[in-house]
Amino acid sequence: MSERSPAGLGRLWRATVNSWNGLCSGAKSEQAIREELFALVLALPLAFLIGTTMARRLEMIAVVMLVLTVELLNTAIEKLADRVTMEHDSQIGRVKDLGSAAVGIALLIAGMVWVFALGERMGMF
């Protein structure tokens, strides 16, 4: 068991470094990712002001993280699609539109959670 643990920790460390590098790369190259990171920074204290329970606060932060996650995946899809061809291709255009739709839906989910939390804080629910 001890022989496998260092290797497992090594893989975990490399995965963590790769994740950090991907986040940094995305933040450097994509305005949308920078905006969502900013939203996450704002969401952290705001969730504690607005959320009425710890569970609600965590939900509020988690949905902002969900939006960031979907944006990162959408960016990866777009970068890969552009690597395949920079020429207009209707199938690649549809793939990019699907990724964009996923971001839009994640934003709607986040908005619903935050509006509900605000309503809850104001005694509307």
- Name the residues annotated as catalytic: 71
Residues in the chain: 125
Q: Which long-range contacts (CB under 8 A, 24 or more apart) does 114-118 make?
A: 114/50, 114/60, 114/63, 117/47, 117/50, 117/51, 117/52, 117/56, 117/59, 117/60, 118/50
